Amino acid sequence: MMAQIVYFKEWLIVFYKKHVDVVLPVLKLVFAFFTMCMFQGMFPYNMVINKPGIFLVLSAAQAFLPISVLYYMISILIMINLWKVSMDIFLGFVIFSIICSLAFVRVDRKHAVILIVTAVMFYLKLEYLLPVLLGMIVGFGAILPAAAGVVVYFLSVYMTDVSTLLTTSSSSSFGMGLQRIVNLMLIDKKLLVFLITFSLIIFITTLLCHLFYERAWLFAIFIGHIAMILLLLFGRLIFELDYKIWRLFLEMILGIGCCYIYRFFRGIGDVSRIEKASFEDDEYFYYVKAVPKIKVTQKDRNVTDIKSGENEDDILFDDITEETDLFDGNREEAGKE
């Protein structure tokens, strides 16, 4: 069974590499359309842009553009919705987007994806799947974009309160909405707990994954998830937060499964065939430990049809008959002797 699963993985990788020119644009289109719909659900304040047709056209364009462009598309989408509620909040988010772009999006394109995925996973109530997985896949560089994604999600939560306040208040002044957002962020202990927990778990998981040990990823998965649960439970106890414990443990199990799937597709080491080598030069001794990946390739079966004419069949039959008669004659002579 395991051999068949490994073979399926190898086939899937080969299939992706062979059809990458088609598969990658389709995946980018689907991802862009899905995330745009999710962010419009988080910031549903401008109904003019809330049209799936617009998102589909933008997603089709994104399919052939760098993935970092999606970050700017979603930022503009959020800005259009914030403009409808408050000008000062709009300006504040513009500054926040520019800082994120300069801090990490321009450094590495995948950081833009981390910010987007983090906010969407919080919106889908699947946020506990992320920290350990980000530490294994990205490393220390995931800390800042993940924290920015958490802030974007909590901004969408605060906007519900602020939009109600601004629409019901008769004396709203410039800066009132942004001040309300800042106050909510400063007093919200849940945001603080998530920022600290995500940053620490990504840091711990990355450290454990880089240990010089062939099963370091296994320790990283379990220790990372256990540490995340302890930190969240400690924060819940200290600040009397309201997140549900059963969902925390359920998503921990799902998170472990996701980490195993990632490691499986990245390549599981065959620890039974570890090879060690050592060599030296004029200044150093070098010790190398090589852990081969588990790979299973299906054998190619070539079936050849041999079609021969009647004359060839007769010749073959005659040759076999002559060889058989000769063999029988030799056996009889040997018996007489």
Q: Summarize pLDDT for 112-124 with one digit per residue, the tens.
A: 999 999 999 999 9
**Whole-angstrom distance, CA of residue 242 vs CA of residue 188:** 12
Q: Band the pLDDT of 95: cuts 50, 70, 90.
A: very high
DSSP 164-231: HHHHH-SS--TTHHHHHHHHHHHH-HHHHHHHHHHHHHHHHHHHHHTSSSTTHHHHHHHHHHHHHHHH
Question: Residues 6 or more apart from 223 whose CB is under 8 A from it?
Answer: 204, 205, 208
Task: Find the range with the poorest average confidence among 73-87, 143-157, 286-300, 312-326.
Answer: 312-326
pLDDT above 60: residue 320: no
* Residues whose CB is less than 8 angstroms from the CB of residue 267 and which lie 6 or more positions away in sequence, other chains included: 293, 294
Taking 90 as the threshold, does the pLDDT of residue 263 lie above it? no
pLDDT of residue 212: 64
Contacts of 298-305 with C-beta under 8 Å, sequence gap 24+, read 298/7
Mean pLDDT in residue range 276-303:
64
Percent of the chain scoring above 70 in pLDDT: 79
Residue 202: predicted pLDDT: 96
pLDDT at res. 140 = 93
pLDDT at 157 (0 to 100)? 94
Q: What is the pLDDT of residues 166-192, one digit of tens each?
A: 877 766 677 788 999 999 999 999 999
Of 241, 249, 221, nearest to 131 by C-alpha is 221
Please name every residue paired with 277 in a beta bridge, in sequence order, or none if there are none.
288
pLDDT bucket at 268, cuts 50 / 70 / 90 = low
pLDDT of residue 101: 92
Lowest mean pLDDT among 4-13, 201-210, 220-229: 4-13
Q: What is the pLDDT of residue 305?
A: 54
Q: Is residue 319 predicted with pLDDT exceeding 70? A: no
Mean pLDDT of the chain: 83
pLDDT range class, residue 276, cuts 50, 70, 90: low
| 327: number of Cβ within 10 Å | 10
pLDDT score of 240:
84
pTM: 0.79
pLDDT of residue 197: 95
pLDDT at 259 over 80: yes
